[in-house]
Amino acid sequence: MTLRVLYFAWVRERIGIPDEEIETTAATVRAFLGELAEREERYHRVFANPEALRVAVDQRLCDLDSPLADASEIAIFPPMTGG
């Protein structure tokens, strides 16, 4: 499937783009982050430690072990610091 992938805050800065489309067969969020870490070096540096990141699938916060299922959009970012 094709996922729209969004990056925010320092994840966006380190990857260098705010969003992109990525083809994947990953079954879970964790598996997808593992695929990203295999790409170029700058991806590896960001995604090698997924516990430091937060993920929203189709705009809902979810765990690393959540299924990707029929997702169309995944956003990856640091812990939120609003308020």
* Residue 10 makes contact with another protein by CB under 8 A: yes
The least distance separating another protein from the CB of residue 58, rounded to whole angstroms, comes to 9
Residues 81, 23: Cα–Cα separation, whole Å? 30
| 49 exposure class (CB count in 10 Å sphere: 0-12, 13-18, 19+) | exposed
Which residues 33-52 are close enough to bind another protein by CB under 8 A?
Answer: none
Nearer CB in complex with another protein: 6/71: 6
Binding site for another protein (CB under 8 A): 6, 8-10, 12, 56, 59-61, 75, 77-83
